[in-house]
Structure formats: C-alpha cells, structure tokens
Structure 1
Amino acid sequence: MTSFADITTIGVGGRIARFIEPTSRVGVIEAVEDADSKGLPLCVIGGGSNMLVADAPFNGVVVRDARRQITVPDEAAPVENGERIVHVNAEAGCNWDDFVAFTVELGLEGVEGLSGIPGTVGASVVQNIGAYGQEVATTVESVEVWDRRDKKTMDIPATDLGFGYRMSKLKASMYTAPATPAAEFFPTPRYIVLSVTFALRHSATGTVGYGQLAKALGVEVGDRMATKAIRDAVLKVRAAKGMLEDAGRYANPAMAGTKRADQIAIAVEAQRRAKQAESSATGSSTSSDHPDAETAPLAPDYNRHSCGSFFMNPILTAAAAARLPEDAPRFNATLPDGTPGVKTSAAWLIDHAGFHKGFKVSPDAQAGLSTLHTLALTNRGDATAVDIATLARTVQDGVEAAFGVRLVPEPVVVGLDLR
C-alpha cells in the first residue's frame, strides 16, 4: 500500500487508503468528483515536495495526475512580424523541472531561474513558486481548472488568479487564515488545476535577476546570459544549499514514470559528483567511492529529504519591522491587504534565534535543520511526521520568543497543527 512517505520529498507520512493516478483529463475530474460525492477526504498531490502529512493512515483518496504532455500551439521560432511570445501548454501532472528543461531546450526565456524546484506544473501555480528573481506568476497566461463547488471546468486568466508571495486564489481557497485550514476545501483547493498555459519569450538568453546567482555566474544583476547557463548555475547553487530533491527517490516504484528518464539520469550523476566532492573535502567515504559507483544505488542525501523552504519569509508592518534588530534583512513588500509592508528573512530569524545549521532538539533526534541551510527541516533517515512537527514548533516558538514573529509554514500541513 502506497504511503505519503513514498511520494513526498521529506519521506514521512501515513498509508493511503486509495491512491489513484488518472491518465486522462476526464479521469482526473471523475476521480475528484467521486471522492467529493462520497464525502471522502481528498488530497490531490503533485511531486510531493510541499507537503507534510501526519503519520496516521489517510482514510481517503489521493489523486496524482499522470498526464505530463507539453504542447506548443505557437511557432517555436520568432515569426516574420518579430513577435517573440511563445505560448506553451503543460498538463498539470508534468514534472516542473522537466517543463523548465523543455523550455530551455526550445530556446525560450522566462522560467530558467526556477530550475530544480521539485513538484509539478499544476502545483507551481497553486503555490506561485519563486526563486532567483523569478516567479511563476510572471509567465502564466491562464490556468484551466475543475471547480469543485460549481462542478464545471473554467479557464482563469492570470489577472484573476490573485497571485502574491507564495499565494494564489487557488491556494487561498484552502485557508481561512495563515496555516489555518478551511472546513470545506483542505488539503485540496476548490480549484483543481488541469493544465497551465504559459507565455514565454523566444530568446536564447535570460536576465540574471538575483545577486547570489549573479555572483555564481561572475556577472552583475541585470546582465543577460544564455538561459542554459542560468539554469546550470541555479541547479549548482540549489545543490550547494541542499535545496534539490534527492534524485534517488525516483528508484522508488511509487515514483516510477513521474519524471523524464534523461533528466533523472542527469540529476543522479550530478548528485554522485556532489557527494564525491563532499567526501573528498571531508576525507570520508561514500558509495560514490565504490568501484561500481556508477551502478550502485545512489547514497541518500539527507539534506535533500525536506519540503524545501519550510517557513515563508514574514511580511511585516513597518511598526513590527522596526522592532527587529538593526541588521535584520529588510525588503519592500506588500501585505495581504494590499498596503506597503516589509519582508524579512525567515532563515536569518531562525539562525539569529539560536537555531543554526544542523540543529536538532536532541542529539539522537531523527529530524534536524539541514547542515547547509537553516530554512530546510530535514528527515535524517527515520524521522516521523511528529519528529518534523516537533522541530518546527521548537523553531517557531524560539523565533517568536526572540523577535515577536510567528513563522508560518510554507508546505501544506495535513493532520498536524503548526499555527
């Protein structure tokens, strides 16, 4: 029986009563409708990278869209009138990084900075994923959804999706307040993503829009570089911070077919090289040192056994931000009510509250902060969801005591209370 531990990047969570992988658009809608009509708990999951699910059995239905087709209705090259916008449609079950790789290979600009983010195309718009100066919101033209309340399909233009920092109209339908699930739609939004249409730009180069990325490329913010060079640099920077998924998860039968085989091979080889470099630097040995290293099972990288960034960067009022230490990061931002606010760094707050890289609540704890990045809560091998939640609450309480700021989890948290 499939469990959430099998299909999430953090590798925890209870067994699933019914796991369905529809291979057609109608099949997705029917699976959702069947669960809703019977009043069963429903979880529509993508790549499992942004979820923390309780250890108890999930006595409901989990739907994972098995449709992964990408189509290009426009000309893939600039047309005679100089129009450079290219529309690309991807089915919701398409692996997100497969989609990014496809667009870069096709010579399109717009999502290269979002390389390496685990998950699916459908989940990308729910969460409005962002990194290294890009957000998915800036390239989405429209989203086709199934409306669970009104029982109909609809196309929602980007202007009506309510995109904000790690937020969309889709995600908002699951919550009544930060980290507070809504009674009607949770852990699955009212709107089930069926496909997404992106408006990308035909260009072999992209803009380097983030300082850390510019440093890695040896250029200035705002410079233009080959989109492939940007993608490669993003993957290296994310790997150095442990913010890529463990490529070994695709050897799990429950993950079969969910990612392009060529992209899995690239990720596995890159992870092997990273582990070899790490072992050389520390003088330790790994399975990568084995004579049959290229065929041996990939050694687990526990820093990658996470939900990615576990807490959102807080957006505060000017008054609340003024109470932070003078050296706390501050960026202009917009509060949920549309008024000006100040964004600060959750990672900075965690570290300066005394929770440093590798922190555990006890020496033998199976959950700990990544040894590379304080914003990632990781499963060090045999953690349970309760172990992860205990670590999360410890960090939340400590940051609140130090700075008066309650960190809000970024993942969808099912069966646990992390408010």
Structure 2
Amino acid sequence: MHNSLTNLIEKFPLIPYLQRAEPVFWLNNQVNATQEFPFTMDIVYDAEARLKRFAPYFKAAFSEIRDWEGIIESQVMQTYLESAFQMKIEGNLLLKCDHMLPIAGSVKARGGIYEIIKHAEHLAIRHGLLSLEDDYRKLNDESFRQFFKNYKIAVGSTGNLGLSIGIISAKLGFNVTVHMSADAKEWKKQLLRNLGVTVIEYEADYSEAVKQGRLEAEQDKTCHFVDDENSLDLFAGYAVAALRVKEQLEAQKITVDQEHPLFVYIPCGVGGAPGGISYGLKQLYGPHVHIFFAEPTQSPCMLLGMMTGLHDEIDVKQIGLTNVTEADGLAVGRASKFVGAQMETIVSGCYTVEDSFLFTSLRQMYCREHIFMEPSAHAGFFGPIQLARIGAAYIDSNGLKPFMQNAHHLVWSTGGDLVPNEWRDKYLQK
C-alpha cells in the first residue's frame, strides 16, 4: 500500500469511524464535475437492443418471464417502510423491485445474463448458425445446446452474479464453472449444482474466487471469463435498468427535474451493478439525480476506495475490518478500479449500515408489506434515513431544501425471490 495508515487517517478523518465499524455517511465533493468516459451511452442502447432480440428466446426457455413478454424487468412500487423506523422521510418513498427480476431473482440478472447472451450471439453468428434477422427462439433448440457445449464459462462470485451466470449459461448449454467465495450462501451453491453447474468453493473471500476464475479462463481458449471487476458488457447490461426506470417513472407521472429531485440508494459490493445503473441514471437525469451507495460496516470497499482515491489498491482489511457480513453479495474487500474511476463524478456519496439494521428492515418489510428481500437488499433503506438524520449539509449545498417535499426516494432492491423457504425463515428469525 502506497500510504501508511497513519498518513491516511490524517488525510481522511472518517477512517477511524470506519475502523470502529460505525455507520458513516461520506459525501463526494467531485460529484457532477466534468468527466470524460472511455465509452458512451451507445453501449447501453446496444445492450437494450440485444436484450430485445433475445426476448423471444427468454420467453420460450423460461416460463417465469412469459408475463413480461421476455423482458427481464421489475416494477417500481410505492413503499411505506419509513413508518416502521419512526422516521418522516420528506417526499415519496419508492422501491425498485429487483429482488423479483425474472430468471435470476436479483439485480445481477440484467448484467450477468446480458454478458452471456452477447457471447452466445457472437459465437453463433461467427459459426453461421444465427443472423440478426432470425427468430431467436431457435436458440432454445437442442442443436444449439450441443453447439454451446463446446464452450466454457467461468466466473468468481459471492453469490448472485454466480447464480445469474450459472442459470443462463446452463440453459443455453455452456459448460459453466462458478468459483464461490466463503461468503456465498449454501442454498445458492446447491441451486447451481442442481442445474449441472460446477461450483468450486474457497475458504478465502471474493478476490480469491475471482482470481481463480480468471486463471481457469486464461488456460483454456474455449473459456469465457465473466470479469465482475472490469467487464464493460456487465456494466452495459446493468445500465439498461436506467432506461427502463425512466419509462416506469414517466408511466407513473413522476417528474425528475430541479424542483423534483430523485434520490437513489443502491447496495454496493465490488461495484458493477450499482456502477452501471448509476452511469445510466446520471446520463439520463444529470444533476437532478442524487445517487448513494450502501455498504456493510465491515465491507465499505467502494467508500474507502473512492474517498482515498486508491480504488482497488486498498482493502478493507488494511484498516482492520473483517469483510464478514450477512449481506453476502456485499462482502467485498476491494472495489473495482474500473467502476470506482467511472463513479468519481456520478455518485453523491456512500454510507455504511450495520447487519442488525438489515434484519430489522427485513422483518418489518415482510410483516408490513409481505415483501421478502435478502438482507443485502435492505442496505438501501438505510439511505433515506441517514439523509434525513445527517444529510442536511448535502441538501443545503445542493440547494435542495425548498424541493424536498417533492423529492422521490428510490430504494434499489438487489435479491430475494429465489431464496428457499427454510432460508427465509432463518433470516426472519434473526
């Protein structure tokens, strides 16, 4: 590490609070500055077009997506959870229900599935088996599964990305290996194995699983590695969500402008999904969207990386944290450098949340609204609470105070639909 811990603490007085695993609220003073990106929104429009081409295939291959006409999407709904925390949130509280995304039941469905279908389309076209004008339902034929059997997919994951990659790859016919970190829940490994996916488990954390997945792919020309830390395809697939949310908000007559600010709270692990979503939202809404990333108190890798500017060169363990949390998808010690660099002018801030809050919120949400989401999905709900409690400086400096009663707070859910009943009971009892 370039800087000694003492120097870092002198420079960044928030670090001792992080070290004590206290919930913190960090504001990014670079937000809305000018930034040149190494890509444009074209990658997002391209991703949306490809997902639409594949819609007939999804509809044929997955019964659960037929109601959505083959489009992998979730609803935006009103939620009333604030009353459970005796808080008055100024404005309107909404939930983006990615815990219900078809096929993979989590936010990872868009990006993970997108990267695999892009790879599959490329292979099929290259071998003269598919053209862009074809009806993509043909990909559900046995002949295509036999073709894809000659190719391999590898990914390193703490859970939900592995699920989305494993489910779609196995359905298409690929040989797929998911390298799972110690944090991954047992039911996720079992579900994958039941689909014929090879699951390799590690005692170490997320970084080791990714390293091994990368290594496997480097040694085999037929293997495509899904790089959660650096993949532009994953990023583009996630960013499609922003286009869809804009349509959904417009359909609900929700305006986003200076007088109607939109606040978005997204749980963050290595950064891929929240990064892609945030890039898309910022491109569409500019300074009128205010995005905050949520991380566990023991795994604030994006906050630490962005605040210090060190990105992937600093690990949460270097400041004495354990990187152990019940929010398995967020148990990442080192953030993506690629995503962190893109977020420098996009994210308004990051905050941390204790595991105990996640379970309180999980229980309240289930009891009051009969909605079940994984613990990590509840990190988003702490955002509007923290903004109301200690976010006055942000609201004042951005001239938002007169408009807060018109604000919309969008809490982005991450996973939950595929959680088996016995695991739901365990979570609810915690």
Q: Same fold (TM over 0.5)?
A: no
Q: Name the one with the larger helix percent.
A: 2
Bigger relative CO (Cα 8 Å, ≥ 6 apart): 2
Q: Name the one with the larger strand percent.
A: 1
Tell me the TM-score range normalised by the shorter chain: under 0.3
